[in-house]
Amino acid sequence: MRVAIAGGGTGGHVFPALCVARELRAGADLVQLLWFGQTDSLEQRTAADDDIPFTAVAVGKLRRARNPLRMVTRANATDMARVPAGVVQAVRGLRAFAPDVVLTTGGYVAVPVGVAAGVLRIPLVVHEQTVGLGLANRLLARIATAVAVTSEATVPVLPTRAAARAVVTGNPVRESVLAGAGSAALDRFGPGFDPGLPTVLVTGGAQGAHQINTAIGEVVESLLVQANVIHQAGATGLAELQHRATALPSELARRYFVTDFIDGEGMADALALAEIVVCRAGAGTIAELTALGKPAVLIPLSSSAGGEQARAARLLAEAGAAITVPDTVTGERVGAAIAELLSDPDARARLGNAARGLGRPDAGQRLTGLVRTAAGDESVR
């Protein structure tokens, strides 16, 4: 079987593609892969690390704005003019490779490759990680053989014909996340932690989040009375939080571990230890929290495309699977939400159980199965 993959730009688009590639290679069938992406990109480095052949195509980037008139810029016109060239390159690459199926996982590179698959009448599987529908997938869903979505909530926003081809697979979660060990997190982050207290994990992602750091900094002393805290602050937020930590009473300071970055293995262990997670509401984060059944206080990024994070956080809150702090984010509001959960183990259990009920830890296998099925579908050839 030959499978072409297109997805990139961010880890949220790259990881589902990588997960399927690895699942396909782990199967009994002989599989040949080809990854399409932008040159000198995350997807190119990822493909190289996994020894997956890679082909570069031209990519057009659309700089969005709330006012559509502000999108009419020279930069957008120049970038979008690259899309036809990317389609031509993708057509040539697909003709030469002759795949049985094409999988796109989002990002600007998905557009030329997905359109090329349509031109050549190659079965196309489109994967959408968010609850809504990204710009690339809004176009490709109309020509896809199958549309893989993370949640049932996505199906109503699909075009009518695409909704009929929708399959809820979930969003693939890194295997390492599911294999984290709380004891390892204690050894690495918590030699001074109080084992009788719950642990709160705070993260704004690998780069940190100023909004989250500021809120936690305002209430960290009161939180440490009730909990141990592991805080991934990012490089720019680290110094201020370390300064605050030096002013803490020694018995509380021992229970606060703040760092700029936690690697994948360390984050998996920290998630295993944490009884509450304070974080953004990105698609990958939501997939991990629900797969693990973790109670969370979500602080969605207001500037996320199409308000996607706010929508995802709201859906979890409505399902009783998380607490969300939208709009005006203050230390007082965030601290109150965390304190409420720290003081009520039953509430934490209810949130965790509800989150687990929404989780799909087998999403990688589901998406891979859909790709295999599409590869055997001759109806569109």
Scan for tokens 């389609």, then name that residue: 87
Q: For 225-240, how does the pLDDT look when each residue is reduced to its tens digit (9 = 90+)? A: 999 999 999 999 999 9
Half-sphere exposure of 374 (CA within 13 A, CB side): 31
In this prediction, residue 381 carries a pLDDT of: 38
In this prediction, residue 378 carries a pLDDT of: 45
In this prediction, residue 77 carries a pLDDT of: 53
In this prediction, residue 36 carries a pLDDT of: 98
Scan for tokens 């920290």, then name that residue: 270
Distance between CA atoms of residues 77 and 38, nearest Å? 18
In this prediction, residue 379 carries a pLDDT of: 41
User: Residue 162: what residue type?
Assistant: A
| Structural domain boundaries in the chain | 2-172+362-375, 175-358
CATH topology of domain 2-172+362-375: Rossmann fold (3.40.50)
Report the CATH number of the 175-358 domain. Answer: 3.40.50.2000
Distance between CA atoms of residues 93 and 70, nearest Å? 35
Residue ranges for the chain with pLDDT beneath 70: 28, 60-82, 305-306, 377-381
Contacts of 86-91 with C-beta under 8 Å, sequence gap 24+, read 86/57, 86/58, 86/59, 86/60, 86/111, 86/112, 86/113, 87/112, 87/115, 87/116, 87/119, 89/55, 89/56, 89/57, 89/58, 90/6, 90/36, 90/57, 90/115, 90/116, 90/117, 91/116, 91/119, 91/120
CB atoms within 10 A of CB 294: 24
Select from 121, 127, 124, 133 the least CA-distant residue to 149.
127
The answer to whether 2-172+362-375 and 175-358 have equal CATH topology is yes
Q: For 103-139, how does the pLDDT look when each residue is reduced to its tens digit (9 = 90+)? A: 999 988 999 999 999 999 999 999 999 998 877 888 8
Contacts of 346-353 with C-beta under 8 Å, sequence gap 24+, read 347/295, 348/198, 348/275, 348/276, 348/295, 349/295, 350/320, 351/295, 351/296, 351/320, 351/321, 351/322, 351/323, 352/293, 352/294, 352/295, 353/293
Token pair for 273: 């230890």
Using CA atoms, how far residue 301 sits from 3, 215, 275, 289, in Å, is: 35, 14, 22, 17
